Structure 1
Amino acid sequence: MLSKEDSRRLAQLERQLRREDPDFCARMGGGNFSVSPTGRPPFPLFLLATLIAVAAVVLVAVGWWIAASIVTAWAVITASAAVHRLRKQRAEAAYRRS
């Protein structure tokens, strides 16, 4: 277990390394592809989730309940992925600011 001073120093070294050599950090970290390197929110995923939800509503209107339930689950999973990426991106941004 690291002491508070050691933890603070380690965090400081990590931030410095991220600033000086982000490519090395990406390679050593396994490449974090879930967060956009440009810092843009995952709007395409939110748009995709919306389009899938509209398709589910259309399927309900047509009366295809089984297909509508499958497409609804797909929309929920896509929206969940978008929210997860947005939260992770915000946490990364907060970490970089500290």
Structure 2
Amino acid sequence: MLSREDNRRLAQLERQLLRDDPEFCERMSVGRRPIRRRVPVSVVLVAVAVWMAALILAVSGWWLGSAIATTCAIVIVASLTFRTRRLRAGDHQA
């Protein structure tokens, strides 16, 4: 692990190299693969469980509980969608 001073000096060297020879930096970064982050399976399972709970509550006639569970499920799915789109947009920029 590098010290704080070493990290600072390394970052300074990287910036200087990028300014002096951007073509070289581009050639060196071509071989790198972007890091792909996956959506955690546990979050998907929680979303499915909440949707199922909302459905069961709606069928059994507990409308208030069903509405609350549906709202929670929509928030979970919306956050998953936002996160997935943001990660894909980051992959295209890299």
The TM-score bracket by the shorter chain reads 0.5 to 0.7
Amino acid at match of 1:86: T
TM-score, normalised by the number of residues in structure 1 = 0.56
Q: How many percent of aligned residue pairs carry the same amino acid?
A: 28
Partner deviation per Cα, 1:17-61 (whole Å, 9 max, x = no partner): xx7xxxxxxxxxxxxxxxxx7522344333321110000001112
**RMSD between superposed Cα atoms in Å:** 2.5
Query: Which residues of structure 2 form unaligned runs of 5+?
Result: 1-18, 30-34
Residues 52, 74 of structure 1: 8 Å contact kept: yes
Partner deviation per Cα, 1:40-83 (whole Å, 9 max, x = no partner): 23443333211100000011121100010010000000000000
Residues 45, 79 of structure 1: 8 Å contact kept: no
Higher relative contact order (CA 8 A, sep 6+): 1
Structure having the higher Rg: 2
Q: 2:42 aligns with which of 41, 44, 47?
A: 44
Residues 51, 69 of structure 2: 8 Å contact kept: yes
Q: 1:69 aligns with which of 67, 70, 76?
A: 67
The residue number in structure 2 matching 1:81 is 79
Paired with 2:86 and 2:78, the residues of 1 have a C-alpha distance of 12
Q: 1:58 aligns with which of 56, 77, 94?
A: 56
How many pairs are equivalent?
65
